Amino acid sequence: MSPRELASVADLGGTEFRHEPVLLHQVADWLALPDGGVFVDFTVGGGGHLARIAEISSPETELYGCDRDEAALAATRSRFDKISNSSTDSDSQLKELFHAPFAGCVSLLRMRNIDRIHGALFDLGVSSMQIDTPSRGFSFQADAPLDMRMDTTQAAGAAHLLNSATAGELTKIIFDYGEERRAKRVAQALVNARQERPLETTGQVRRALERELGSPNLTKTLARVFQALRIAVNDELGQLSEALPQVADMLAPGARMGIISYHSLEDRIVKRFFASRIGACVCPPRTPVCVCGARADLRILTKKPVTPNQKEISANPRSRSGKLRVAEKLSVDFRPGESA
Ligand SMILES: C[S@@+](CC[C@H](N)C(=O)[O-])C[C@H]1O[C@@H](n2cnc3c(N)ncnc32)[C@H](O)[C@@H]1O
């Protein structure tokens, strides 16, 4: 297996966790810790990025990984076990893996008296393992239960949402999170279908939309509807908005945080967050007094987002929408109006 293939496959007790880390080398080049410190991967997945960070950081670096998906954590554990078995360095750099959402991970770090971190990564969205496991219900390519929970211990999945939300709520989810112009029609088609029989499978959703909208552009609409449901089931945007300031607050002076987003909704949150922390006010126009808490304690290192090149996109088409943005913590923190 080539090094690239090795980075994409982690063994999961007989089954393989396949996920090709996006912008692998660029992420490591921006975020590795040559002088050691604490690095936290908040979306550790199968550990592809984290393993590369480990490889080029100082051996003293302490690594922590976080994920809402227990299968992902098992894959990372197995990847690092293999690395430490094949290395003469018996003391693994991987200190702990947390089964928690972003904010829970921040609390767990603080409970271990880790209040300062030196590098952080968010590689947002879902892994290929999650999309390609039909029983997880993330894909409309297979007929499977409507689940879509990243954390399979979470109570309610997509079926509950689809069968309990009002037509208005579904329209809003599909419009806001899927950016689907025909959201109202799509929501009504789903409500009509569930009146005949509760929606339980991805195939039922596909057939309901096919009946209402016909075949042209169906795949694009399904992709947008599935993205919307996934974002809602996992509160993806809420989690991101909550976590970014918490993680930035933990960065030591000179430490970096990198975020790979895969759609405009995520990227907008990242851009607005960075803007609010370089001192730019992001209050809505005509707000009389700044209430957004803009302060300057970060410096943006990527003026334009780093994106995959054509070679990476050809090898891994799922990387095509990836955008990496990196910021660095300043050593002095000032608010607009104060002198720096
Ligand atoms: C794109 S994958 C990361 C892949 C990883 N970089 C690798 O190299 O294997 C995103 C991962 O983040 C996790 N995730 C997404 N949102 C999360 C959240 N709010 N809290 C914790 N984990 C989350 C998903 O379960 C998934 O495993």
SS3 category, 326: strand
Q: Is residue 7 predicted with pLDDT exceeding 60?
A: no
Q: pLDDT category, 89, cuts 50, 70, 90? A: low
Q: Is residue 338 predicted with pLDDT exceeding 60?
A: no
Q: Is residue 11 predicted with pLDDT exceeding 70?
A: no
Q: pLDDT category, 283, cuts 50, 70, 90? A: confident
Ligand 1 pocket test, pick from 12, 16, 66, 68 with the greatest ligand atom count within 8 Å of Cβ, gives: 68
Distance 123 CA to ligand 1 centre (A): 6
Distance 106 CA to ligand 1 centre (A): 15
pTM across the whole model: 0.90
Beta strand 296-300 with 9-12 is unpaired
Q: Is residue 291 predicted with pLDDT exceeding 90?
A: no
* Residues 120, 247 contacting (CB under 8 angstroms): yes
123 lines ligand 1 (CB under 6 A): yes
Q: Name, in order, each residue with C-beta under 8 angstroms of 338's C-beta and a sequence gap of 6 or more.
A: none
Break the chain into its structural domains and give their ranges.
3-129+239-334, 152-233
Work out the mean pLDDT of the chain and round it to a whole number: 90
Lowest mean pLDDT among 83-87, 97-101, 320-324: 83-87
Q: State the DSSP H helix or E strand holding residue 18, giving kind and residue range, or none if neither.
A: strand 15-18
Lowest mean pLDDT among 73-82, 87-96, 107-116, 298-307: 87-96
Distance 148 CA to ligand 1 centre (A): 13
Q: Name, in order, each residue with C-beta under 8 angstroms of 255's C-beta and a sequence gap of 6 or more.
A: 37, 116, 117, 118, 119, 120, 328, 329
Q: pLDDT category, 2, cuts 50, 70, 90? A: very low
Domain 152-233: assigned CATH number: 1.10.150.170
Q: pLDDT category, 18, cuts 50, 70, 90? A: confident
Q: Give the pLDDT score at 58.
A: 94
Distance 310 CA to ligand 1 centre (A): 24
CATH superfamily of 3-129+239-334: Vaccinia Virus protein VP39 (3.40.50.150)
102 lines ligand 1 (CB under 6 A): yes
125 lines ligand 1 (CB under 6 A): yes
Q: Give the pLDDT score at 98.
A: 97
Q: pLDDT category, 28, cuts 50, 70, 90? A: very high
